[in-house]
Amino acid sequence: MNLDQVLQTLKTEFPNKAIDLCESLELIKEVLNDTMNAINHKSNDAFVKRDFIARRQYDDIAVSLHNYEQQIDQFVATLSVDTVDLVNEDNDSDEETEKRKIPNYVDYVVDNNVEHTLYENFTHKRPYAFRINENHIVEVKTWQEMLKKTAELLFTIDNDKFLAFEHTRGMNGKKNKYISVKLDGMRKPQLILDKVYIETNMSGNGIRNLILKMLKAYGYKATDYKVYFRADYTELNQE
Protein backbone atom coordinates (compact mmCIF):
# COMPACT_ATOMS: atom_id res chain seq x y z
CA MET A 1 0.00 0.00 0.00
CA ASN A 2 1.54 3.31 -1.07
CA LEU A 3 1.29 6.56 0.88
CA ASP A 4 -1.65 7.89 -1.13
CA GLN A 5 -3.60 4.71 -0.44
CA VAL A 6 -2.76 4.94 3.27
CA LEU A 7 -4.01 8.53 3.41
CA GLN A 8 -7.19 7.67 1.51
CA THR A 9 -7.88 4.80 3.91
CA LEU A 10 -7.38 7.06 6.91
CA LYS A 11 -9.74 9.57 5.35
CA THR A 12 -12.54 7.05 4.83
CA GLU A 13 -12.06 4.69 7.78
CA PHE A 14 -10.76 7.09 10.43
CA PRO A 15 -12.09 10.56 9.50
CA ASN A 16 -11.53 12.05 12.96
CA LYS A 17 -7.89 10.97 12.89
CA ALA A 18 -7.57 12.37 9.38
CA ILE A 19 -8.74 15.72 10.75
CA ASP A 20 -6.19 15.48 13.57
CA LEU A 21 -3.44 14.81 11.04
CA CYS A 22 -4.56 17.71 8.84
CA GLU A 23 -4.54 20.11 11.78
CA SER A 24 -1.07 18.95 12.82
CA LEU A 25 0.23 19.29 9.27
CA GLU A 26 -1.26 22.79 9.02
CA LEU A 27 0.68 23.74 12.15
CA ILE A 28 3.88 22.33 10.64
CA LYS A 29 3.23 24.47 7.55
CA GLU A 30 3.00 27.58 9.73
CA VAL A 31 6.28 26.72 11.46
CA LEU A 32 7.95 26.07 8.10
CA ASN A 33 6.70 29.44 6.88
CA ASP A 34 8.22 31.13 9.93
CA THR A 35 11.47 29.30 9.24
CA MET A 36 11.45 30.40 5.60
CA ASN A 37 11.07 34.02 6.72
CA ALA A 38 14.01 33.66 9.11
CA ILE A 39 16.13 32.13 6.34
CA ASN A 40 15.17 35.00 4.04
CA HIS A 41 16.49 37.53 6.57
CA LYS A 42 19.74 35.58 6.93
CA SER A 43 20.10 35.33 3.16
CA ASN A 44 19.58 39.07 2.73
CA ASP A 45 22.15 39.79 5.44
CA ALA A 46 24.62 37.51 3.67
CA PHE A 47 24.02 39.40 0.41
CA VAL A 48 24.66 42.75 2.09
CA LYS A 49 27.92 41.36 3.47
CA ARG A 50 28.71 39.86 0.04
CA ASP A 51 28.99 36.44 1.65
CA PHE A 52 27.72 34.57 -1.39
CA ILE A 53 28.73 31.14 -0.10
CA ALA A 54 26.47 31.57 2.94
CA ARG A 55 23.72 33.03 0.73
CA ARG A 56 23.79 29.97 -1.53
CA GLN A 57 23.59 27.70 1.52
CA TYR A 58 20.55 29.56 2.82
CA ASP A 59 18.93 29.46 -0.60
CA ASP A 60 19.52 25.69 -0.85
CA ILE A 61 17.89 25.19 2.55
CA ALA A 62 14.93 27.33 1.47
CA VAL A 63 14.45 25.28 -1.70
CA SER A 64 14.43 22.05 0.33
CA LEU A 65 11.94 23.43 2.84
CA HIS A 66 9.71 24.66 0.02
CA ASN A 67 9.64 21.12 -1.36
CA TYR A 68 8.43 19.92 2.04
CA GLU A 69 5.78 22.64 2.06
CA GLN A 70 4.47 21.38 -1.27
CA GLN A 71 4.42 17.78 -0.04
CA ILE A 72 2.49 18.80 3.05
CA ASP A 73 -0.02 20.65 0.86
CA GLN A 74 -0.55 17.42 -1.09
CA PHE A 75 -1.02 15.39 2.10
CA VAL A 76 -3.53 17.90 3.46
CA ALA A 77 -5.45 17.93 0.17
CA THR A 78 -5.67 14.13 0.23
CA LEU A 79 -6.67 13.92 3.89
CA SER A 80 -9.17 16.78 3.86
CA VAL A 81 -12.62 15.68 4.93
CA ASP A 82 -15.83 17.50 5.72
CA THR A 83 -15.52 18.33 9.41
CA VAL A 84 -19.27 18.74 9.81
CA ASP A 85 -20.56 16.47 12.62
CA LEU A 86 -17.02 15.22 13.28
CA VAL A 87 -15.92 17.91 15.71
CA ASN A 88 -16.15 16.63 19.28
CA GLU A 89 -19.08 18.39 20.92
CA ASP A 90 -17.25 18.28 24.27
CA ASN A 91 -14.86 20.83 22.81
CA ASP A 92 -17.38 23.58 23.43
CA SER A 93 -18.59 22.44 26.85
CA ASP A 94 -17.97 24.82 29.73
CA GLU A 95 -16.62 24.12 33.20
CA GLU A 96 -20.01 23.71 34.89
CA THR A 97 -21.12 21.17 32.28
CA GLU A 98 -17.92 19.18 32.72
CA LYS A 99 -18.26 19.18 36.50
CA ARG A 100 -21.68 17.56 36.12
CA LYS A 101 -20.48 14.99 33.57
CA ILE A 102 -17.16 14.06 35.22
CA PRO A 103 -17.48 12.98 38.89
CA ASN A 104 -13.74 13.37 39.57
CA TYR A 105 -13.42 16.61 37.58
CA VAL A 106 -10.99 18.08 40.11
CA ASP A 107 -8.43 15.39 39.21
CA TYR A 108 -8.01 16.97 35.78
CA VAL A 109 -7.78 20.61 36.83
CA VAL A 110 -4.40 22.18 36.01
CA ASP A 111 -2.55 25.29 37.14
CA ASN A 112 -4.16 28.15 35.22
CA ASN A 113 -1.15 30.39 35.84
CA VAL A 114 1.09 28.36 33.54
CA GLU A 115 1.60 29.92 30.11
CA HIS A 116 1.21 27.83 26.97
CA THR A 117 1.80 28.68 23.31
CA LEU A 118 -0.01 28.16 20.03
CA TYR A 119 2.58 25.55 19.09
CA GLU A 120 1.15 23.08 21.60
CA ASN A 121 -1.43 20.34 21.15
CA PHE A 122 -4.85 21.48 22.41
CA THR A 123 -6.53 18.06 22.09
CA HIS A 124 -8.37 17.15 25.33
CA LYS A 125 -7.33 20.48 26.87
CA ARG A 126 -9.74 23.18 28.04
CA PRO A 127 -8.93 26.90 28.12
CA TYR A 128 -9.04 29.26 31.06
CA ALA A 129 -7.79 32.46 29.42
CA PHE A 130 -5.50 34.02 26.82
CA ARG A 131 -3.33 37.10 26.55
CA ILE A 132 -1.71 39.00 23.67
CA ASN A 133 1.68 40.46 24.61
CA GLU A 134 1.46 42.32 27.91
CA ASN A 135 -2.23 43.12 27.59
CA HIS A 136 -4.64 42.01 30.29
CA ILE A 137 -5.68 38.38 30.53
CA VAL A 138 -9.01 37.59 28.85
CA GLU A 139 -10.89 34.76 30.57
CA VAL A 140 -12.85 32.29 28.43
CA LYS A 141 -14.83 29.11 29.04
CA THR A 142 -14.37 27.29 25.72
CA TRP A 143 -12.07 27.23 22.69
CA GLN A 144 -14.94 28.67 20.68
CA GLU A 145 -15.17 31.65 23.04
CA MET A 146 -11.41 32.13 22.81
CA LEU A 147 -11.65 32.31 19.02
CA LYS A 148 -14.53 34.79 19.19
CA LYS A 149 -12.85 37.11 21.70
CA THR A 150 -9.54 36.98 19.84
CA ALA A 151 -11.36 37.90 16.64
CA GLU A 152 -13.05 40.82 18.40
CA LEU A 153 -9.72 42.17 19.66
CA LEU A 154 -8.15 41.95 16.20
CA PHE A 155 -11.22 43.50 14.57
CA THR A 156 -10.97 46.55 16.82
CA ILE A 157 -7.31 46.99 15.84
CA ASP A 158 -8.02 47.01 12.09
CA ASN A 159 -11.50 46.12 10.90
CA ASP A 160 -10.65 46.41 7.20
CA LYS A 161 -7.87 43.86 7.54
CA PHE A 162 -10.20 41.48 9.34
CA LEU A 163 -12.98 41.85 6.79
CA ALA A 164 -10.45 41.07 4.05
CA PHE A 165 -9.93 37.61 5.59
CA GLU A 166 -13.13 36.50 3.86
CA HIS A 167 -11.26 36.60 0.55
CA THR A 168 -7.79 35.66 1.81
CA ARG A 169 -6.34 32.38 0.60
CA GLY A 170 -5.55 30.03 3.46
CA MET A 171 -7.83 31.83 5.89
CA ASN A 172 -10.89 29.74 4.98
CA GLY A 173 -11.81 26.09 4.57
CA LYS A 174 -11.64 24.03 1.41
CA LYS A 175 -15.41 24.20 0.89
CA ASN A 176 -16.80 26.68 3.38
CA LYS A 177 -15.89 30.11 4.67
CA TYR A 178 -14.46 30.45 8.17
CA ILE A 179 -14.88 34.23 8.10
CA SER A 180 -17.69 35.88 6.16
CA VAL A 181 -20.28 38.64 6.25
CA LYS A 182 -22.82 36.00 5.11
CA LEU A 183 -24.05 32.92 6.95
CA ASP A 184 -24.06 30.70 3.87
CA GLY A 185 -22.48 27.32 4.60
CA MET A 186 -21.57 28.10 8.20
CA ARG A 187 -22.44 25.57 10.93
CA LYS A 188 -21.77 27.38 14.21
CA PRO A 189 -21.20 31.03 13.31
CA GLN A 190 -20.48 33.68 15.90
CA LEU A 191 -21.12 37.33 15.10
CA ILE A 192 -18.10 39.58 15.61
CA LEU A 193 -19.07 43.09 16.74
CA ASP A 194 -22.19 43.07 14.53
CA LYS A 195 -20.06 43.11 11.36
CA VAL A 196 -18.79 39.68 10.34
CA TYR A 197 -19.28 36.02 11.24
CA ILE A 198 -16.63 33.52 12.25
CA GLU A 199 -17.04 29.74 12.13
CA THR A 200 -16.61 27.99 15.49
CA ASN A 201 -17.38 24.40 14.42
CA MET A 202 -13.74 23.40 14.94
CA SER A 203 -11.63 21.40 17.35
CA GLY A 204 -9.24 23.09 19.73
CA ASN A 205 -6.37 22.50 17.31
CA GLY A 206 -8.39 23.84 14.39
CA ILE A 207 -9.10 27.00 16.36
CA ARG A 208 -5.43 27.21 17.32
CA ASN A 209 -4.41 27.13 13.65
CA LEU A 210 -6.91 29.82 12.62
CA ILE A 211 -5.85 32.11 15.47
CA LEU A 212 -2.22 31.63 14.49
CA LYS A 213 -2.95 32.69 10.90
CA MET A 214 -4.94 35.74 11.99
CA LEU A 215 -2.22 36.86 14.40
CA LYS A 216 0.46 36.63 11.72
CA ALA A 217 -1.69 38.70 9.36
CA TYR A 218 -1.68 41.41 12.03
CA GLY A 219 2.07 41.25 12.46
CA TYR A 220 2.10 39.31 15.72
CA LYS A 221 4.45 36.43 16.42
CA ALA A 222 3.06 33.14 17.68
CA THR A 223 4.93 33.69 20.94
CA ASP A 224 3.07 36.98 21.50
CA TYR A 225 -0.06 34.97 22.29
CA LYS A 226 -0.26 33.07 25.56
CA VAL A 227 -2.87 30.49 26.48
CA TYR A 228 -3.82 29.31 29.96
CA PHE A 229 -5.48 25.92 30.54
CA ARG A 230 -8.03 25.07 33.21
CA ALA A 231 -8.24 21.31 32.62
CA ASP A 232 -6.44 18.51 30.79
CA TYR A 233 -8.44 15.37 29.96
CA THR A 234 -5.66 13.57 28.09
CA GLU A 235 -5.36 10.84 30.73
CA LEU A 236 -9.13 10.39 30.86
CA ASN A 237 -9.32 9.83 27.11
CA GLN A 238 -6.54 7.23 27.16
CA GLU A 239 -8.38 4.96 29.54
Average pLDDT of 203-221? 92
Return the SS3 of 21: helix
pLDDT, tens digit, 9 for 90 and up, residues 150-167: 999 999 999 999 999 999
Global confidence as pTM: 0.77
Return the SS3 of 20: helix
Rounded CA gap, 60 and 181, in Å? 42
CATH number of the structural domain 89-238: 1.20.1380
pLDDT band at 81 (very low <50, low <70, confident <90, very high): low
Average pLDDT of 115-129? 93
Q: Are 178 and 167 in contact (CB under 8 A)?
A: no
